[in-house]
Amino acid sequence: MQRTIVQPPVPGDAALAELKHWLAITRDGEDQALHRVLEASLTICEAFTGKAPLRQTVEEIVPLTSSWQELVSRPVRALTAAAVIDADGTRTALATPGDALEWRIASSACLRVVQPLEGQSLAVQLDVGIATDWAGLPAPLRHGIIRLAAHHFRDRESNASAVPPASVTALWRPWREVRLG
């Protein structure tokens, strides 16, 4: 299974303003660095919880098989496109993915091919994320992302650990989805 982010999440101006308020920064000179730590904090939040906090578009490449396959990305909001990939890498878009694929969403998204398709694998494009924008993000996730971004911004000169502090993981833990190997 290969996963590629097609359109990354966009924290937006509200997230930047919240982080600047948390850090008591009033000038705009640090905005670029703050955006970078916000993006990194979103990525760490997704890695910790197993769920994309903000809406993003991802592509997953899965084998062509009629058995159910669990997708890596969570939570899936919609299947937006699908294409069959030939051995030479050529892609053939499925005009109506719903006719060739069956999919279900519960705690995770699964799909299977229900019509015979010729090719090596299948690329599915997915709209994923807990919230569509910063304001819609549940407060514990949002606050944890801000605290982690602030932590990394303050410790940017040192070799700070990528492991989130306990104060952040405590906020995220209820959202964490643990999968057994």
pTM recorded for the entire structure: 0.88
Buried b (16+ CB within 10 A) or exposed e, 100-128: bbebeeeebbebebeeeeeeebbbbbbbb
Q: How far apart are CA 128 and CA 7, in angstroms?
A: 10
Question: Any idea which of 50-64, 99-113, 125-139 has the lowest mean pLDDT?
Answer: 99-113
Span 120-154, pLDDT tens digits = 899 999 999 999 999 999 999 999 999 999 999 98
62 forms beta bridges with: 122
Q: How far apart are CA 178 and CA 20, in angstroms?
A: 32
**SS3 letters for 63-88?**
ECCCCCEECCCCCEEEEEEEEEECCC
Residue position matching structure tokens 């997953």: 60
**SS3 letters for 153-164?**
HHCCCCCCCCCC
